[in-house]
Amino acid sequence: MSVEASSKKGIGDGDHLKVLGYDDSFHRSMSLWANFALGFTYLSPLVGVYSLFALAMSTGGPPSLFWLFIVGTGQLLVALVFGEVVSQYPIAGGIYPWTRRLWGKRYAWMAAWVYIWAMLVTITAVAEFGTGFLASLINAPATKEVTLGLSIAFLVVAFGLNFSGTKTLARVARIGLAAELIGVVAVGLYLLIFQRHQEFSVFFDSMGVQGNGSYATAFLGAALTGLFLFYGFEACGDVAEEVENPARGIPRAMILTIFVGGISALLSFSGYVMAAPNLQDVVDGVDQDPIPAILDAALGPIGAKIFLVVALTAFLSCVLSLQAAASRLLFSFARDGMVPGHKWLATVSPRTAVPTNALIVACSIPVVLCLIIYVGSDQVLTQITSFAVIGIYVAFQSVVLAALRQRIKGWKPAGPFSLGRAGFVVNVLALAYGIFAMVLLAVPGSSGEFFSDYIVLIGLFVVMGSGLIYLLAARPDRKSLAPEGDAIEVATLLRAHPDH
């Protein structure tokens, strides 16, 4: 039976996986809706907008809103490429198996190595950012000790929920989706309709943020506004072996994540701008944490407290989704024998059908990073987070580049989701966008302090350098016998054996 036919009948997921060289290891208990919820809560517009609103305003002013359109369009192109890849290769782990099958195991090693560290840092950063909401809710002082304790609490609670199985993950992801929609869409619309202190023309007013220089420079400097927001959709593919009808459903979930996440972020961001009582103070950097005051003024003390609960739910769900995605990537990496301790990491619980040992790593390393942040300077969190963003973009573009390479060699994606003749053009545009985004992320700062200005490139160099050293010294690729670089062959096989 072909993948296309099996998808129409709602069966054959295991057969498709067998064609790709693997047996089912998980329970397929995640629906399309839950898969979308996982990607959406990983993308988390509430977390992204809250974390970057003040920085966006002080760097690019209200017009920085337009980065949401620019990056959203670019990442939609990337999501379409990912959709074709995952439709042919619905394998757990996402970035790693896709790059392995599109190019080769050494190429996949580097892509996965960069991505896993970027994900672990992102887990840490989201847990750290979420402590502000939790501390406000319980009236705890914002000390380093409190931040450390609450960050670890986030990580451990998310780990416990993940540990209990895919059904719990899916359930909490759906709850997180509801919290996100309330926190960003409902609140954003309320602020736009009932709490406007600005005119809509403010989005075309730089409010003097450029000083005596060109606004183009200031606008480019605000690119992180969108670049930090629009990833997470690939998490839909990380759990491909736990999803019903993944070859058809996951591409839809990815695209839906981009559209709904983008609209939600747009409503939230514009709502905060319009409702700010003194926007000039925010733009001038005088008010460096404006959202709590905006919400308190607009919603009142009780409404602001309710928002804190909603935000905490969203942050917890985001950490949960990140841990789940990271653990599946580690599992996929280990299943092919590509990492030290691969037998231990590739263990799947017979009771809950989740990669428990990989989950332990996805929780424990962020705990260690939290301890490093605690003993380090106040800038450590910002510095390691800066690496995470470019690391994720490098990993994404490794898939886009590998897919384009295969297309040039004659690959025509054989999954039920296909762009047809438009696929090549979309692939080229996605790669062009990715290069543009990575250049923006890699441009050194202008503070005059070498480490601070070059932290993104330093972090990328350290991670890629250490991965390359291990790859050349230990040669894990020699011990891995799983298939690689077979995109054209698999596409031909899927088309030539309709009764498989």
pLDDT in tens for each of the 500 residues of the chain?
Answer: 333 433 344 337 777 888 787 777 777 888 888 899 888 888 888 888 887 888 899 999 999 999 999 999 999 999 999 999 999 999 989 999 999 999 999 999 999 999 999 999 999 988 988 888 888 888 888 788 999 999 999 999 999 999 998 888 888 888 988 988 888 889 999 999 999 999 999 999 999 998 888 999 899 988 888 888 888 899 999 888 888 889 999 999 999 999 999 999 999 999 999 999 889 999 998 887 888 888 888 888 888 888 888 888 888 998 999 999 999 999 998 989 888 888 999 999 888 889 999 999 999 999 999 998 888 766 777 777 778 889 999 999 999 999 999 999 999 998 899 999 999 999 999 999 999 999 998 888 777 777 777 888 888 999 999 999 999 998 988 888 888 899 999 888 877 755 44
Q: Do the beta carbons of residue 92 and residue 242 sit within 8 Å?
A: yes
Q: How many CB atoms lie within 10 A of CB 443?
A: 14
Q: Do the beta carbons of residue 41 and residue 317 sit within 8 Å?
A: yes
Task: State the pLDDT at residue 465.
Answer: 94
Q: Distance between CA atoms of 399 and 85, rounded to whole angstroms?
A: 9
DSSP-based three-state secondary structure for 23 = coil
Q: Do the beta carbons of residue 265 and residue 49 sit within 8 Å?
A: yes
Please report how many Cα atoms fall inside a 13 Å half-sphere around the Cα of residue 157, on the Cβ side: 15
230: which residues sit within 8 A by CB, 6+ positions away?
Answer: 43, 71, 72, 74, 75, 258, 261, 262
The pTM of this model reads 0.90
Q: Do the beta carbons of residue 428 and residue 391 sit within 8 Å?
A: no
Measured CA to CA in angstroms, residue 426 lies from 83, 101, 111 at distances of: 12, 20, 21
Q: Distance between CA atoms of 488 and 101, rounded to whole angstroms?
A: 10
Closest CA to 288 of 58, 49, 47: 58
Q: Distance between CA atoms of 200 and 184, rounded to whole angstroms?
A: 19
* Cα 193-195-199 angle, rounded to 5 deg: 80
| φ and ψ of 30, to 5 deg | -105, 125
Q: Distance between CA atoms of 376 and 8, rounded to whole angstroms?
A: 54
Stated as kind and residue range, the H or E segment containing 144 is helix 144-163
Q: How many CB atoms lie within 10 A of CB 134?
A: 22
DSSP-based three-state secondary structure for 214 = coil
- DSSP label at 90? -
Task: State the pLDDT at residue 378.
Answer: 65
* Cα 72-83-361 angle, rounded to 5 deg: 85
Q: Do the beta carbons of residue 77 and residue 433 sit within 8 Å?
A: yes
> What are the DSSP calls for 291-313, one per residue?
HHHHHHHHHHHHHHHHHHHHHHH
Task: State the pLDDT at residue 449.
Answer: 77
Q: Distance between CA atoms of 198 and 103, rounded to whole angstroms?
A: 51
Q: Distance between CA atoms of 400 and 413, rounded to whole angstroms?
A: 13
Q: Which domains does the chain have, with CATH numbers?
A: 3-496 (1.20.1740.10)
* Length, in residues, of the chain: 500
